[in-house]
Amino acid sequence: MQVHKAEIVISAVQPEQYPKTKLPEIALAGRSNVGKSSFINTLINRKGLARTSGKPGKTQTLNFYLIEEALHFVDVPGYGYAKVSKTERVKWGQMIETYITEREQLKAVVSLVDFRHDPSEEDVQMYNFLKYYEIPVIVVATKSDKIKRSQWNKHEAAIKRKLVFDATDDFIIFSSETKEGKEEAWKAIENFL
């Protein structure tokens, strides 16, 4: 998809605030700092629409972006901040769970993992959670520019092993620096619209 129009429509905490449209939604989830904002900005050809590197303690909201009047990207707040209190963590979990399990418009989740490292426990939990609810997953391995091409197969295999990756899901190697995987990511997303 060639994106010319993208805008944030709402930062929601409650289901009542979700957009009232029936447009398909693609949610994006990953650890803080994984490169989620950079991924969104790359796909929509913007430098700074999605905020990069949300700081700990910032309001945990689901940010809905309207793309080409055709779909919503739903930016899920990053997990994995050690400093977040238990209460906040529980609130975050409930918000995500409600959204993912109850939202009819949700077509697939882009689950971002760092291509350099084995997935964290939270990455694995998120993947299992999505599989349990039978939500299609597009795994995006970020920051591929930081790994030599000769090592790509090894890293891909390690990530898939740790996730117990389901071969019916998509696995995309991505870099917001080189734009590697941008077209492939759009193709995978468009399959679910």
Which residues lie near ligand GDP (CB under 6 A)?
A: 30, 32-38, 52-54, 78, 142-143, 145-146, 175-177
Residue 111 CB, nearest approach to ligand GDP (Å): 12
Of 193, 144, 137, the C-alpha closest to 170 is: 137
3-state helix, strand, coil in the chain (%, to 5): 35, 25, 40
Residue 55 CB, nearest approach to ligand GDP (Å): 9
Residue closer to ligand GDP by CB (options 34, 95) is 34
Residue closer to ligand GDP by CB (options 21, 117) is 117
Residue closer to ligand GDP by CB (options 116, 166) is 116
Residue 36 CB, nearest approach to ligand GDP (Å): 3
CA-to-CA distance for 39 and 119, rounded, in angstroms? Answer: 18
Tokens encoding 31:
């650890």
Q: Which SS3 state, helix, strand or coil, does residue 172 take?
A: strand
Residue 146 CB, nearest approach to ligand GDP (Å): 5
Residue closer to ligand GDP by CB (options 30, 136) is 30
Pairing between β-strand 6-12 and β-strand 62-67 as defined by DSSP bridges:
antiparallel
Q: Which SS3 state, helix, strand or coil, does residue 135 take?
A: coil
Residue closer to ligand GDP by CB (options 7, 145) is 145
Residue 85 CB, nearest approach to ligand GDP (Å): 19
Tokens encoding 18:
């979700």
Q: How far, in Å, are 98, 125, 159 from residue 164 at the CA level?
A: 25, 11, 8
